Structure 1
């Protein structure tokens, strides 16, 4: 074949499994260019028989007309000798060093929905309809390159009609790896909890009838199994909670369309855009006041919240089910409390026995578990609370100034764990894996680590972990160190701030910042438990310059589970034990004989570690205002109730006063005000709002005090408590009004779901 001068374009990003090659074929054909396009392990290679000017024109049009799920992170082109092609071809994938990304799973696209409901279409009401613009990706992939043989669809042989679509670059199903139809693809069925098949020619109609009758059903979807029931049926919701052993934590809902959601929640333009995004996350919405015209959601759906989490149907299975009913569904993960969501049919049968009354299963294997992502729209933009299906595993660029790095893996924390794999100039953050307390979740964590190492060909010998010696992620890091790998330990709140800096692409050589990190607890450099911190520095080094006043955690971890212990410890700094015993009108638990043991523990400093935790301060105030349970049933329960109470306040309130003494925010004056207000019968909603406002003022005053001593113009906000919109947005507004630049999280959660990225950046900065 004769050769000529030509141009080669290398494109990196989300460019495999998203219809990118047929898009390139169509564009090149339209521009009458000859050449070829093919996948390799690094992305997509485009070779064109043209000069640099024509290649530049092609690249510009390519960037402007990308397929819906594609994303270009980097593009390079170079001149070289090429065969003189007679047309433009799509060539076979080539192997090599893996640097490309895997696209997230995406909600069913409009074209597939049209076919789903078109009676003459061969995929009419087919539960697994998809194309290159939608459907499963991460949930079915086993390895890269993303070809059918690398997915769980490998066992399904395409029929002639599907093969023709798959081979035709002009078809939107060209190389759609999950492509299938009723003749050759997966199928679903109904069965009882005892494993007996339920004969039904219309399984979704049968499911709808069961839901109408108040039954609980299990539904195997894209990234796992869900449990569903009628969200307007209080008895059904209560029964689901009892069987699943999930007492209070809010349950997500699924509703057919925006009109259905407006029956029980307020939706603005930003909310509507999030609901309709291809990621189809759970969106937290403010509830509507019930009227005769609006549908009432069962009170037990979200008993602690003024917000309710809702998502649209995002798979054909969901669309077919929602079409059979006229009410929203509770759609929560199919698992027993504390265990990972079931993804296999056998796990669904065993784990959900005694919970589900009916199961809808299918034979398309799920290789990677994906929880539903959770987001909320705030005044300053979208806040991601859980980053999973639809968002993961999109990669992030290393911030400016970070050089191409050798392979490195950050192991995350103990709660809301994610992993971060760095290679060259990209960081891949895994989906939300959950809390590592449970053995099966930790097993999943280890499996995911191995999977991502293989997916991204990451042979790291450098690992990064938290400093807390009891985190299972840290212990795993130590075991890897013992095997000869290098291990860097990063302080918990430093990782939080670094994650937010990286999330905002803050440069490595940027000026030092002040980080305000508010969360539950994290192991400090002084080996005490931190949680309400002011840190000054940059990626490589940060030092603690101020904090909330440390208070004893009576009983250690027990204080996290029993919020009234935090109230006792807070008030004990202001009053004697005898005075506290007379405050049973404030907290009935103060009459418990256990308080005598508390005094001995405090005196002897026995299992009463000091902690500056912001979360425990919220627990204490929530207990004083009567909105915290004696024992919490999920993390952050008392704080969520306190924020919800504050949001119900309809009056102007004066903030409570917290003193700034040296480098501590001291709440003693606030406690005096709270006790006075309680005895005078002040509205507890007003008191909850006064606390939030007072804490914002104290945090701002401490920031301005520190600005006089340290050189910074940028403040970084992170930590799980910053997910409290009432607090976080007011603090951002106040600091910006003071002339400071404020950075908050953009693509990662402010909670521990983001710290793996921060751990990685700190380790990279330290090793410069």
Structure 2
């Protein structure tokens, strides 16, 4: 922004103002930015970090101060996020220039901590310049880029409170740090070859090489088909040449990965375009400072040199892609590396590894070499993952680059800790109207997962100076999160229903505080009647809900085993529809599953042996996937449902669904006032198509569109009955782009405003936000009611 042409006639009038800037304004170079602009404009005063944000006392000519404030709002630092600017008159003082005051713990405790940011173009340019003193330095950083959340131990965000405290600045770095004209003025992560962290290559348990020799050796290993464990910003990855089928297959075997897709990292956006379809929105997200994994559609005919090994994403037309975000990544690609598998280094079901000693102990049997460094990761953080759907990027996993950025809640609530679920866990802390979501914690079924949860809860409590008086858990009696209050013994514990939390999560994200028709579709959630819910339509507010409609309940033979073995749900739905006539059907499921095994399941269901009832939409998708022969066993969560969606992508988008005449007759079947569509005609229609040899792609598309039509119609009828006009969609099933896009469109055509997720995952990664939202809305009596709004 230009500072020329300040009208001189106003400059004789000196004024003084106090400015409070709120939002993501600490740890992002905001005070140096303020200092430099004030100096250029000839203004005096001071700036400091406070609990509220950044406090500025500015004094000088009225026009200069006007221009200064315009610069604050129009051209703030790259990584900042201003939510509010407050201005009030201030008494004149005798300032000697403009100064940056040192932060203190009491002044800053409770402020927003910025997320980690990818390396900026300016640093990359310096790193690639042989004449620059930071040439090829893998930890180059400035005020506009680098680690934040992963290295901060306490606040304020000063070097002494980060894992950079082990690296005292050399004379040259110290000079840059104190120079207002330098890009690294007050950059807490500033370092160089002389004073900063170093890289080491381990083979076994001893380091063999360091610095550039270590990087060059690691690149050579990757190019020769080896697997290298690589320490990044938030944890370790396992890296391998993504074009080498043999190497990728070996990595898949070593990780016991099943068919779950690997993410890949490419050198540049042009490189990504050579093997995947990239839209304008997707390109923007790939290049953003967050640098998440973006799920893209593979090109059918990629350029030859960029042919991805089939085992990267076996049988999947989509691929997860990210660009280099750490300087070390960029150095790997500079050495003529093509494209890398970049998958989290962890044992199945456990958190990503972040400590050097754990990597050396655990990864030596999986990796041919370990490229690590001596800058500690204080708070581990997986890569964020998302997908562009309907002109919006929608996070599936919210972690590095986004956490712990808050979501606006409502003011005057007690401090709250919401514990989320046991899968895809995140936690949420509420303070002063802001809901701070943690990074992706993951599954809590292992001791290391529980330890990670407690580490994160205590860390976030310290950073935002929270002392929760309310602790919110899922109402499932066996969820381990219900016993996670030992770190907060003075907090009162309450429980909320799983699917109500999903819907309120969507409402809070969208800033909506009214009543909604909430469609909560997921795999598993404990219902009020003791059954397993998951295909629910709730009439809900933030405080309360009623169950207005749901899928019919069917047995889940084997209980949790049915989640991993979709063929069990296929048999359940077939038997629910056809009874003993099922054995006469000519369907693929019987060709892949033995009749004797199927009869065992029927025996279990008849005698109600380990066969809990479920209304889950996720289990219905599993069933159809198994029935038509796509997936009988899940080697990763959601595999069968994903296969069904990917199959549908090969069919025309506008293919009509099956008839709803029997599913939703004019007078819908109701039980206790709850709408329950009859899904048996849908199953019969699918089987009829199978026996008529209709392509699976057509069947899958018809199934998707029938589900869309059914629930659009139910929502429309509920809207007519209640006078409501807003629908909210939440739950893991809405990761399905066909379903989300199609149902959103269908509801809009029925004159409903549709709320969906974007910055918060629709799956259980967003559950804690909804729990917190319910608790905040009901904190007056600490009771979550289940009555009609």
In 2, distance between residues paired with 1:209 and 1:111? Answer: 27
> Could you tell me how far 1:403 is from its partner in structure 2?
2.6
In 1, Cα distance between equivalents of 2:303 and 2:156: 55
How many residues are aligned here? 756
SS of equivalent residue, structure 1 residue 228: strand
Matched residue SS, 1:384: strand
Quote the residue 1:611 is aligned against: 614
Q: 2: CA distance between counterparts of 1:403 and 1:23? A: 30
Q: Does 1:625 align with 2:631?
A: no
> 2:507 aligned with 1:501, yes or no?
yes
Which residue pairs with 1:544 in the alignment? 547
**Is residue 198–residue 210 contact of structure 2 (8 Å, CA) maintained in 1?**
no
Using the TM superposition, give the Cα deviation of residue 350 of structure 1 relative to its aligned residue in structure 2, in angstroms: 1.3
Tell me which residue corresponds to 1:672: 684
Hey, what does 1:568 align to over in structure 2? 571
Distance 2:221 2:194 in 1: 28
CA contact (8 A) 2:199 2:211 kept: no
Matches within 5 A, 1:179-190: 179-190=190-201
Give the 3-state SS of the residue equivalent to 1:289 in structure 2: coil
1:16 is aligned to 26
Maintained 8 Å contact 2:201/2:215: no
| Partner Cα separation in structure 1 for residue 619 and residue 71 of structure 2 | 54
Aligned to 1:43: 53
Mapped contact 2:364–2:370 kept (Cα < 8 A): no
The change in CA–CA distance for 1:160 and 1:613 in structure 2 (over 3 A counts) is same
For 1:438 and 1:304, locate their aligned partners in 2 and report how far apart those are by CA, in whole Å: 30
One of 29, 37, 40 as aligned partner of 2:39: 29
Q: So what's the TM-score if we normalise by structure 1?
A: 0.95
- 1:440 and 2:452 matched: no
Unpaired segments ≥5 residues, structure 1: none
**1:651–1:686 Cα contact (<8 Å) kept:** no
Q: 2:708 aligns with which of 683, 696, 700?
A: 696
Q: Bigger CA drift: 631-640 or 593-602? A: 593-602
1:386-408 alpha-carbon deviations (Å, 9 max, x no partner): 1111111111211xxx3322211
- Report the CA distance between 1:59 and its aligned residue: 2.8
What is the deviation of 1:356? 0.2
Establish whether residue 736 from structure 1 lines up as the match of residue 741 from structure 2.
no
Separation (CA, whole Å) in 2 of partners of 1:579 and 1:210: 55
CA distance in 2, matches of 1:291, 1:424: 51
Match of 2:605 in 1: 602
Q: Deviations over 1:232-287 (max 9, x none)?
A: 11110000011111111110000001121112101111111011000011111110
**How far, CA to CA, are the matches of 1:528 and 1:100 in structure 2?**
42
Q: Closer, same or farther in 2 for the Cα pair 1:293/1:357, shift >3 Å?
A: closer
1:531 equivalent in structure 2: 534
Write the distance in 1 (CA, Å) between the matches of 2:688 and 2:192.
69
Q: 1:590–1:285: structure 2 CA closer, same or farther, 3 Å change rule?
A: closer
In structure 2, the residue corresponding to 1:366 is in which secondary structure? Answer: coil
Secondary structure of 1:615's counterpart equals helix
Q: Relative to structure 1, is the Cα distance of residues 68 and 201 closer, same or farther in structure 2, using a 3 angstrom cutoff?
A: closer
**CA contact 2:15–2:62 (8 Å) conserved in 1:** no
Whole-angstrom CA distance in 2 between matches of 1:489 and 1:581: 47
1:620 offset after TM fit, Å? 0.5
In structure 2, the CA distance between the partners of 1:497 and 1:51, relative to structure 1 (3 Å rule), is farther
User: How far 1:5 sits from its partner (Å)?
Assistant: 7.5
Matched, 1:92 2:94: no
1:518 alignment partner in structure 2: 521
**1:592 deviation in Å?**
4.3
What is the Cα deviation at residue 446 of structure 1?
Answer: 0.7
Q: 1-side partners of 2:651 and 2:603: how far apart?
A: 40
- 2:502 is the counterpart of 1:490: no
Instruction: Normalising by structure 2, report the TM-score.
Output: 0.93
Report the counterpart of residue 411 of structure 1 in structure 2.
419
Displacement of 1:301 after TM fit? 0.6
Q: 1:20 to 1:517 in 2, by over 3 A?
A: same
Instruction: State whether residues 275 and 303 of structure 2, in contact with CA within 8 Å, keep that contact through their aligned partners in structure 1.
Output: no
Does structure 1 residue 257 correspond to structure 2 residue 263? no
1:605-655 CA deviation, whole Å, 9 max, x = no partner?
2221111101000000000121113x3111100011111111122586331
After superposition, where does 1:351-390 map in structure 2 within 5 Å? 351-390=362-401
Quote the Cα distance in structure 1 between the aligned partners of 2:79 and 2:211.
Answer: 36
Q: Hey, what does 2:250 align to over in structure 1?
A: 239
Does 2:72 correspond to 1:62? yes
What SS does the aligned partner of 1:564 have? helix
Report the 3-state secondary structure (helix = DSSP H, G, I; strand = E; otherwise coil) of the residue aligned with 1:539: coil
Change (3 A) 1:77 1:673: same
Cα distance in 2 between the residues matched to 1:57 and 1:486: 50
CA contact (8 A) 1:40 1:95 kept: no
1:753 aligns with 2:759: no
> What's the secondary structure of 2:714's corresponding residue?
helix
Alignment CA distance shift 1:143-1:651 (3 Å):
closer
Aligned with 1:423 (options 420, 431, 438) = 431
The structure-2 alpha-carbon separation of the partners of 1:524 and 1:64, relative to structure 1 and needing over 3 Å to count, comes to same
Partner Cα distance (1:380, 1:500) in 2: 18
Matches within 5 A, 1:249-328: 249-290=260-301, 293=304, 295-328=306-339
CA contact (8 A) 2:276 2:302 kept: no
Deviation at 1:38, TM superposition (A): 1.1
User: Is contact 1:17–1:175 with CA below 8 Å preserved after alignment?
Assistant: no
Match of 2:590 in 1: 587
The one of 13, 17, 35 equivalent to 1:7 is 17
Distance 1:625 1:243, change over 3 A: same
Residue pair 1:304, 1:640 contacting (<8 A) in 2 also: no
Q: What SS is found at the alignment partner of 2:55?
A: strand
Distance 1:153 1:651 in 2: 52
Specify the SS of the correspondent of 1:120.
coil
1:635 aligned residue: 637
Counterpart residue number, 2:9: none
1:516–1:534 Cα contact (<8 Å) kept:
yes
5 Å matches for 1:552-563?
Answer: 552-563=555-566
Rounded to whole Å, the distance in 1 between the matches of 2:63 and 2:412 is 29
- 1:132 counterpart = 2:143: yes
CA distance in 2, matches of 1:115, 1:285: 31
Q: Cα offset for 1:122?
A: 0.3
Tell me, in whole angstroms, the C-alpha distance in 1 between the residues paired with 2:163 and 2:133.
23
Q: 2:223 aligns with which of 212, 223, 226?
A: 212
What is the CA–CA distance in structure 1 between the aligned matches of 2:313 and 2:76, rounded to whole Å? 40
